[in-house]
Amino acid sequence: MLNNVKRLPDILSIFGVSRSHVYQQVKDGLFIKPIKLGKRAVGWPSNEISTLLSARIAGQSNEQIKSLVSTLEASRGQS
């Protein structure tokens, strides 16, 4: 399956939040960590973004989101 990578401007547009909010959510375990694309570039796998967005829309609690984030990050590279 082809997986696209979303860069920060895409993430900000999709979630409607600020850059600092995204990185605070990453720090708090409520948003997936970005993957390195190069020396000074990061991005987020689009399938993980879709899964996280669906969970938010479904109204999952912060604890459920933290668990989902952990699962998504743990499954990277296992396919």
pLDDT at 2 over 70: no
CA distance 16 to 72: 22
Contact assessment for residue 45 and residue 2, using Cβ atoms and an 8 Å cutoff: no
pTM of the model: 0.88
pLDDT of residue 1: 46
For residues 12 and 7, what is the distance between their CA atoms, to the nearest angstrom?
9
pLDDT digits (tens, 9 = 90+) for 35-52: 999 999 999 999 999 999
Beta bridge partners of 43: 35
Could you tell me the pLDDT band of residue 3, with boundaries at 50, 70 and 90? confident
Q: What is the pLDDT of residue 78?
A: 72
C-alpha atoms less than 13 angstroms from C-alpha of 78 in its C-beta half-sphere: 6
More confident residue, 79 or 56: 56
Query: How far, in whole angstroms, is CA 20 from its chain's centroid?
Result: 14
Gap between the Cα atoms of 16 and 64, Å rounded: 21
